Structure 1
Amino acid sequence: MALALPEVVEELLSEMAAAVRDGARIPDEHLSSLKFVFGSSAIQALDLVDRDSVTLISSPSGRRVYQVLGSSGKTYTCLASCHYCSCPAFAFSVLRKSDSLLCKHLLAIYLSQVMRNCQQLSVSDKQLTDLLLMEKTQEA
């Protein structure tokens, strides 16, 4: 079962998605609200989306992971279903200090979904497993 974001964030993302569905641009007040909730991470996440840095990788078994090419050039693996990112900012600001809801990479995933600007890649189950194992090996 997927974890839910705080209701105010869910509502904001939903309203932004409705604007995009209707062919309108995202209203400035929504962007201001995004910046209020997420601070500078909002602008950084929007930049990642603008640069097409978010890729959804899916396999025939239904597994889904995201990879986000960070501004530093490093690729981070994210699991949106449980709000996890492999970046150091997630470990420090979200998990350790609890002063952020999400890192910029996770926020970029949600924004790329809202803006319908997410790259998609289908791989075999073995390729996805190998990708995740390679990520784990690189972290060690």
Structure 2
Amino acid sequence: MDSSLRSVAEQLLKDLQRTYSETNQIPDDLLIALRFVFGPCALQALDLVDQRSVTCVSSPSSRKAFQVLGGSGHMYTCFTSCHYCPCPAFSFSVLRRNESLTCKHLLAACLSQAMGLCQQEQVSDQQMTHILSGQTEAST
């Protein structure tokens, strides 16, 4: 994807964060822009946010990851800092075909963070090591 589109996406998320913090809602123009920039995964991501499917897992060493419960019931550990999700859609549409900016799980993590709707969970550094290494997808 073009780097200017990534810049537009980043600015859109900043605008959403500012507007949502002021009004506690997403105006129609921002919803339309989300759909235009992110495609069909935007509505799916917003649905995951509505369902409170996103948890920010953090540890005492300040490491953090986002766990997103997908519609299929599978838990995906997403990393917004390096823009990665282990789901098949991310591998196929983002990495392999370069057709999308992101998947619904990673976008849901970004949106829930921007909107302040992310559930928070503290884990030990040892538990975080297991999460980050992929030894477990669900937090304990």
Tell me the matched-pair count: 132
Distance in 2 (CA, whole Å) between partners of 1:80 and 1:95 is 15
Q: Which amino acid aligns with 1:45?
A: A
Structure 2 partner of 1:15: 15
Does the aligned pair in 2 maintain the 1:76–1:87 contact within 8 Å?
Answer: yes
Distance in 2 (CA, whole Å) between partners of 1:32 and 1:100 is 17
Q: TM-score, normalised by structure 2?
A: 0.89
Q: Which amino acid aligns with 1:132?
A: L
- Is it true that 1:64 corresponds to 2:64 in the alignment? yes
Structure 2 partner of 1:110: 110
Aligned runs of 1:91-130 on 2, under 5 Å? 91-130=91-130
Aligned-pair CA distance for 1:23: 2.4
Q: Which amino acid aligns with 2:69?
A: L
Q: CA RMSD in A?
A: 1.4
Segments of structure 2 that go 5 or more residues without pairing to the other structure are none
- Is it true that 1:86 corresponds to 2:86 in the alignment? yes
Q: Which amino acid aligns with 2:47?
A: D
Task: Give the share of equivalent positions with the same residue, in percent.
Answer: 56
Structure 2 partner of 1:38: 38
Does the aligned pair in 2 maintain the 1:77–1:135 contact within 8 Å?
Answer: no
For residues 36-64 of structure 1, the C-alpha deviation after alignment (integer angstroms, 9 at most, x for no partner) is 11111000000000000001100111111
Distance in 2 (CA, whole Å) between partners of 1:121 and 1:96 is 32
Structure 2 partner of 1:55: 55
Residue range with higher mean Cα deviation, 48-57 or 108-117: 108-117
* SS across alignment from 1:6: helix
Distance in 1 (CA, whole Å) between partners of 2:130 and 2:15 is 37
Aligned-pair CA distance for 1:24: 4.5
Distance in 2 (CA, whole Å) between partners of 1:101 and 1:10 is 11
Distance in 2 (CA, whole Å) between partners of 1:25 and 1:122 is 28
